[in-house]
Amino acid sequence: MTGDDWKTGEGQAGDWDVEDVPEEWKVVSTTEHFRARVITGVTDAVVMPDGEVVDRDYVTHLGSVAVVAMDERERVLLIRQYRHPARHLLWELPAGLRDVDGEPLHVNAARELAEEAGYRAGTWNVLVDAFTSPGMSDERTRIFLARDVSPLPADELDFVRRHEEADMPAVWIPLAEAVRRALGGMIHNSQAVAGILAAYAASADGFASLRPADAPEA
């Protein structure tokens, strides 16, 4: 099967338009169980297509951004951080919460790249959008590709890293090697895996097909 043959019914997708679309089934009640700084635990009573009402437990989340920073040698920047729920030291992308009201997502991402890694970038594109775990959370993440990177001058490093961020080693690793490690089960963070693989796929056309940094979220 080649080209658009799958659209004609010759492939498994048939005539379906394979694109996620917004949809919201009726909720007859919502129970809030706890509220914290970043997440809130709730149960919705949701009406199914056959009319049955069932409970769905999930966590609401502020949302996040992440950055695949790539240098002129096609190396990507990874940082290592302790993640208590996973009980792991994980190699990750510079990333953070959408915690400033009204802040454009690419500005949010540039701030995180500066604060977590001490770098800035001259070229930004949207790499991939994802729901991190849609069966249990409404968290949305947008992963950017940042190129033309350079370290921030010392007088612009005006942030203080605390707690898990106080000691985060950083490495520049060739993109192809990062792909090998992601597929080999050595990198587990979902943003890192998605970002690394998306960057590798996008490199096939020199990143020409990527969306602009300010592209709207669907």
Find the mean pLDDT for residues 164-179: 87
Is residue 24 pLDDT above 80, yes or no?
yes
- The three-state DSSP-derived secondary structure of 13-78 is CCCCCCCCCCCCCCEEEEEEEEECCCEEEEEEEEECCCCCEEEEEEEEECCEEEEEEECCCCEEEE
Find the mean pLDDT for residues 205-209: 97
Name the pairing type of β-strands 64-69 and 140-151: parallel
pTM of the model: 0.89
Percent of the chain with pLDDT over 90: 83
Find the mean pLDDT for residues 126-149: 97
Q: Please state the φ and ψ torsions of residue 12, each to the nearest 5 degrees.
A: -65, -30
Domain 63-212 fold is Nucleoside Triphosphate Pyrophosphohydrolase (3.90.79)
Give the catalytic positions in this structure.
Answer: 165
Percent of the chain with pLDDT over 70: 88
Q: Where are the domains of the chain?
A: 22-61, 63-212
Is residue 218 pLDDT above 70, yes or no?
yes
Over the stretch 57-103, which tens digit does the pLDDT of each residue have? 999 999 999 999 999 999 999 999 999 999 999 999 999 999 999 99
Instruction: Provide DSSP, 22-33.
Output: -----EEEEEEE
In angstroms, the CA 189 to CA 140 distance is: 15
Q: Judge whether 89 and 164 are in contact, CB under 8 Å.
A: no
Encoded amino acid at 142, one letter = R
In angstroms, the CA 144 to CA 128 distance is: 7
HSE value, Cβ hemisphere, 13 Å, CA-based, for 61: 17
User: Given pLDDT bands bounded at 50, 70 and 90, which one contains residue 14?
Assistant: low
In angstroms, the CA 116 to CA 78 distance is: 10
Over the stretch 28-56, which tens digit does the pLDDT of each residue have? 999 999 999 999 999 999 999 999 999 99
In angstroms, the CA 188 to CA 168 distance is: 17
With tokens 């977590």, the residue in question is: 116
Find the mean pLDDT for residues 7-20: 69
Say what the pLDDT of residue 160 is: 61
What is the chain's mean pLDDT, rounded? 91
Say what the pLDDT of residue 5 is: 59
Say what the pLDDT of residue 167 is: 72
DSSP category for residue 216? P
Say what the pLDDT of residue 45 is: 98
Over the stretch 174-189, which tens digit does the pLDDT of each residue have? 999 999 999 999 999 9
User: Given pLDDT bands bounded at 50, 70 and 90, which one contains residue 1?
Assistant: very low
In angstroms, the CA 52 to CA 208 distance is: 47
DSSP category for residue 165? G
